[in-house]
Amino acid sequence: MESNDVARVAADTRDPRAGLRAVSSLRTLTERLELAQVEAGLRDGMSWQEVADALGVTRQAVHKKYARKIDPTIAVPRRSR
């Protein structure tokens, strides 16, 4: 099923079971896409703070969520406090 179809099913409240499965699928897709974009941003030289700002969260939140998940070959900027 294409993501547009999944989104349509997720928005349709007539069949909650199908809707909930679709929401779960969208959540999984969103998590994968977000990780890919975080990695792309870090590869492009963005700091954790810049990534956090783009996502609308704190630097600590984005670092906690992704620091151990990102590709280890990415040279992550390390800034002292």
pLDDT tens string 37-51: 999 999 999 999 999
Percent of the chain with pLDDT over 90: 86
Express each pLDDT in 20-71 by its tens digit: 999 999 999 999 999 999 999 999 999 999 999 999 999 999 999 999 999 9
Q: How many CB atoms lie within 10 A of CB 69?
A: 10
CA distance 56 to 11: 24
